[in-house]
Amino acid sequence: MTTQEAAAELDRNDPLAAARKWFLVPPGTVYLDGNSLGALSAGVPERIRRVVAEQWGEHLIGGWSEDGWWDAPLRVGDRIGRLLGAAPGQTVAGDSTSVQLFNSLVAAARLRPGRDVLLMDAAGFPTDRYLAASVARLLGLELREAPMPEFADALADCGERLAVATASAVDFRTGELWDLAGLTEATHRAGGVVVWDVSHAVGAVPLAVDRDGIDFAVGCGYKFLSGGPGAPAFGYAARRHHDHLDQPLTGWNGHADPFAMTPDYRPAEGIGRYRIGTPAVLSLLALDAALDVFDGIDLRRLRAKSLSLSRFFIACVDEHLAGRGFELVTPREDERRGSQLTLGHPEAGRLMAAMIERGFTGDVRPPDLLRFGLNGLYLSHAEILATVHALRSLT
């Protein structure tokens, strides 16, 4: 049933309905692009104003200690770590996903000297693919790629040669969620180290990096974490690797004694060595403020809401968009969906432009995919129904 009454009933029973007011979504906008740039958390503007006026303005350089700027990458890292299912002391926030990925891929490969294959996800996000290719060239590895449905077989095919496998937890085009635990185990069985990009999962899909034995994970701060445009990314490295971590980006923030200003690099103990250079403090503290939203949130409940939205979306597509040229690209099985819905349509570009004009913000991925990010913190079932009605009116 996909009537307005059905949507209203689902929304009445939504335990996360109150979270909507924690975000400043402009009136008249149905925001379906939170998988690309999360909406602004209500607490962020005031926090940033205070950081600028009171911390920077009044404490000046003293802010590094007085206001905890120096420790912020590890403190914010631990807050993200909780969303990853990581115990404290294994996650650092900073730089971009691209930088974190480069750093992790090289560090991962250096854990497997003598092995020479880097296996990557054939449908990976462009920057991930470009970086994997560059790392392979830099380290003299053979780059192989495999579609995700064949990834486990491809891992086994590498035999003794597999050094590193890297893939995205959720396909950025289709919204398909992969089996992180199973593929991590398959990587280990083949003797390799895994680097997961969880950009489209963190803050929407409960993860269990420690429990699943994941070696490395990287991801974005500006998607479901809503940290703001270009928000710092993060890198997780499992504790068992810390003593052997040989990261390529040996910046002074990762030094054991950075203020000794010694001529030679000596890495800090623990995850501290995963720091690179001076953090972008304003952005980092905007992300920190945005993460407050997650403090009171049970991620399993958020996941249930997201699945309820996507299930309802699929039912609406089936009932209201049949025969109008749409193809459901995202899997129908709950456990195979991340937190977005993707529809194929030959006129995707025209449709999305018209949708945006009507206040429904999603996006398009070439050549023909319409993407709708489903953030359970600020979207309702009524908005999903309205979205589908708008799509129907345009076709």
Ligand X SMILES: *Cc1c(COP(=O)(O)O)cnc(C)c1O
The binding site for ligand X (CB under 6 A) comprises: 96-98, 125, 127-128, 168, 172, 197, 199-200, 220, 233
C-beta of 7 vs 101, nearer to ligand X? 101
Closest to 67 measured CA to CA, from 51, 79, 78 = 51
User: Minimum distance from CB of 220 to ligand X (Å)?
Assistant: 5
User: Minimum distance from CB of 283 to ligand X (Å)?
Assistant: 12
Is residue 204 within 8 Å of 375, Cβ to Cβ?
yes
C-beta of 176 vs 197, nearer to ligand X? 197
C-beta of 33 vs 383, nearer to ligand X? 33
C-beta of 197 vs 212, nearer to ligand X? 197
HSE-CB at 25 with a 13 A cutoff on CA atoms is 25
C-beta of 172 vs 236, nearer to ligand X? 172
User: Minimum distance from CB of 74 to ligand X (Å)?
Assistant: 20
What DSSP letter does each residue of 329-395 carry, written as one string?
Answer: -S-SSGGGB-SEEEEE-TTHHHHHHHHHHTTEE-EEETTTEEEEE--TTT--HHHHHHHHHHHHHT-
The torsion angles phi and psi of 238, rounded to 5 degrees, stand at -60, 140
The torsion angles phi and psi of 109, rounded to 5 degrees, stand at -65, -35
| Radius of gyration of the chain, Cα coordinates, nearest whole angstrom | 22
Cα dihedral 20, 372, 28, 45 sign: positive
C-beta of 98 vs 395, nearer to ligand X? 98
User: In this structure, what token pair is assigned to residue 161?
Assistant: 């040669």
User: Minimum distance from CB of 96 to ligand X (Å)?
Assistant: 4
User: Minimum distance from CB of 351 to ligand X (Å)?
Assistant: 23
User: Minimum distance from CB of 375 to ligand X (Å)?
Assistant: 15
How deeply is 357 buried, as exposed, middle or buried, from its count of CB atoms within 10 A (0-12, 13-18, 19+)?
Answer: exposed
Q: What angle do CA 291, 294, 299 make, to 5 degrees?
A: 140
CA 331, 125, 196, 162: dihedral to nearest 10 degrees?
110
Rounded Cα distance between 300 and 120, Å, is: 29
Known catalytic residues are: 125, 197, 222-223, 371
User: Minimum distance from CB of 110 to ligand X (Å)?
Assistant: 22
Rounded Cα distance between 223 and 219, Å, is: 9
User: In this structure, what token pair is assigned to residue 199?
Assistant: 């950009």
Residue indicated by tokens 């930088």: 99
User: In this structure, what token pair is assigned to residue 283?
Assistant: 């952005």
C-beta of 67 vs 176, nearer to ligand X? 176
Rounded Cα distance between 364 and 372, Å, is: 9
User: Minimum distance from CB of 363 to ligand X (Å)?
Assistant: 12
Inter-CA distances, 293 with 23, 95, 149, 231, Å:
9, 22, 35, 16
C-beta of 69 vs 102, nearer to ligand X? 102
Residue indicated by tokens 């403190």: 75
